[in-house]
């Protein structure tokens, strides 16, 4: 096992933004109940609705600075209204987060687009089509669906069984053969499937878990929100070598807390 650096060790990590305290790493002694990733059931895809609001949402994201064509195309193809409660479907294409039950939320479309674009920027299209992605926090499954439209293989982990089952139901009609869902503790990653070329988290801890860093492939990228007091910011990590990572602290964001264990 390679030596994982402390974030404040200047010899092993190149800080790319001054004035912020970088996240420290730790290794929790937890294991997911099940690490075997299971394929989604296949069903016929129903006709989509709300095409016009979805197109307007994508146009607004483009105007807000999202420029990756594959990311925009994925957002245009995934029906966000299928991932929110029926009573909130009229707001599905607004740039807002919405409740999905279990004290969790679906992220703003801009946040989803921004995080995925960070992972995708400057990647060769051929590599995108074969890279392996780990998502921590499936939630309702919307971001997983967008990831699966952009990248070659996506594995998404959710610790709340009710959300895991909800995501399976939401995703069934999309028939995404390159997407697998796992019920497990995302705080420890998914060591049986590592290494991962790309990693993305949908919950904010006060540090980047050591397990995530160890499961990144050399050359891999990770984007995750990290909390410092009441504030949160996106942390963008690259693994530059066997024992070398670099960090950029980017946008201010707001996510649900990162928890351990199963629920």
Whole-prediction pTM: 0.83
The pLDDT value given to residue 55: 97
Q: What is the pLDDT of residues 201-259, one digit of tens each?
A: 999 999 999 999 999 999 999 999 999 999 999 999 999 999 999 999 999 999 999 99
Chain mean pLDDT for the chain:
86
Active-site residue numbers? 107
Residue 114 φ/ψ, nearest 5 degrees: -65, -45
CA distance 237 to 219: 10
Output the pLDDT for position 38.
40
**pLDDT band with cut points at 50, 70 and 90 for residue 39:** very low
Q: For the chain, which domains are there? A: 13-47+124-252 (3.40.50.150)
Percent of the chain with pLDDT over 90: 81
pLDDT of residue 82: 96
User: Which pLDDT value is given to residue 244?
Assistant: 97
Higher pLDDT, 175 or 44: 175
Contacts of 107 (CB under 8 A, 6+ apart): 97, 139, 142, 143, 202, 255
Other beta carbons within 10 Å of 222: 25
Question: Is the separation of the CB atoms in 17 and 249 below 8 Å?
Answer: yes
Strand order from edge to edge, sheet including 196-201: 13-15, 244-252, 231-241, 216-228, 196-201, 132-136, 153-158, 179-183, 38-39
pLDDT digits (tens, 9 = 90+) for 163-180: 999 999 999 999 999 999
Please report which confidence band the pLDDT of residue 50 belongs to, taking 50, 70 and 90 as the band edges.
low
pLDDT in tens, 5-35: 444 343 334 444 433 433 333 333 323 333 3
Could you give the CA distance from residue 69 to residue 71 in angstroms, rounded to a whole number? 5
Q: What digits encode the pLDDT tens for the residues 129-150?
A: 999 999 999 999 999 999 999 9
Q: Which residue has the higher pLDDT, 124 or 29?
A: 124
């Amino acid at each position: 096992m390679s030596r994982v650096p402390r974030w404040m060790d200047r010899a092993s990590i190149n800080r790319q933004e001054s004035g912020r305290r970088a996240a420290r790493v730790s290794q929790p002694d937890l294991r997911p109940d099940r690490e075997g990733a299971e394929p989604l059931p296949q069903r016929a895809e129903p006709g989509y609705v709300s095409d016009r609001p979805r197109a307007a949402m994508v146009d607004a994201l483009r105007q807000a600075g999202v420029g990756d064509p594959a990311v925009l195309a994925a957002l245009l193809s995934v029906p966000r209204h299928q991932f929110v409660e029926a009573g909130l479907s009229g707001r599905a294409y607004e740039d807002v987060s919405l409740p999905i039950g279990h004290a969790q939320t679906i992220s703003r479309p801009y946040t989803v687009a921004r995080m995925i674009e960070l992972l995708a920027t400057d990647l060769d299209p051929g590599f995108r089509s074969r890279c392996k992605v780990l998502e921590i926090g499936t939630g309702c499954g919307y971001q997983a669906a967008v990831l699966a439209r952009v990248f070659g293989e996506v594995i998404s982990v959710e610790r709340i069984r009710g959300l895991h089952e909800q995501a399976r139901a939401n995703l069934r009609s999309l028939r995404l053969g390159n997407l697998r869902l796992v019920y497990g503790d995302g705080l420890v990653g998914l060591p049986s499937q590592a290494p991962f070329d790309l990693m993305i988290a949908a919950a904010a801890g006060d540090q980047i878990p050591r397990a995530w860093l160890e499961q990144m492939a050399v050359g891999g990228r990770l984007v995750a929100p990290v909390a410092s007091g009441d504030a949160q910011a996106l942390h963008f990590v690259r693994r530059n070598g066997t024992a070398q990572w670099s960090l950029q602290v980017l946008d201010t964001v707001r996510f649900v807390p990162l928890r351990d264990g199963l629920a």
